[in-house]
Amino acid sequence: MADRKLKVADAKYISFTSYRQDGSAASTPVWVVPFRGGYAFTSDDTSFKVKRIAKNPRARIAPSTFRGVVAEGAEVLEGTAELLRGDDFLAVEQLIKRKYWLGWYLAIVPSQFFARFKKKSTPGSVAILMTPHRGE
C-alpha cells in the first residue's frame, strides 16, 4: 500500500480546510460525495467553516480518518469552496444519505430530532462544494 497514494475520490472521510481572516488554516473531518466536478458535504449554516467560506472561498481537501488525521503522502487538492442551498443542497444531502446511510441514521437523524426541542431556533443547512483547481 506504500506505492498507492490515498485519493480524495476513494475517501470515506476528508479533512476540509478553510482559512481564517488572518490566513491561518482550520481543518475538520467531513463526509464527502462527488458532485458537479468537485466534492461536496453538508453543514449547519451557523458553523464557523461556513462563515469562513463566505469571507474567503480558498479551501483544501485531503483523505483522512474520521478524526481528521491525514496520512503522509495522501492526495491534497487545493480549490475554491462555495455554499449551496435549495435544490443543490437537497441533491448533496441525498447523496450523503445514500453513501453514509447507517451513520446518517445513527448520528444525524437523532441530532435533528433533539434540535426541535431547543429553545433557540434551529440553524438551516447548507452544502459546501469544493471544486479543485485543475492542473495540479
In a domain, 1, yes or no: no
In a domain, 3, yes or no: no
pLDDT band at 100 (very low <50, low <70, confident <90, very high): confident
Asked if pLDDT for residue 75 goes beyond 50, the answer is yes
Strands across the sheet containing 13-19:
25-31, 13-19, 58-64, 77-84, 125-132, 38-44, 33-35
For residue 16, the domain's CATH number is 2.30.110.10
Structural domain count, the chain: 1
In a domain, 2, yes or no: no
- Evaluate if pTM is beyond 0.95: no
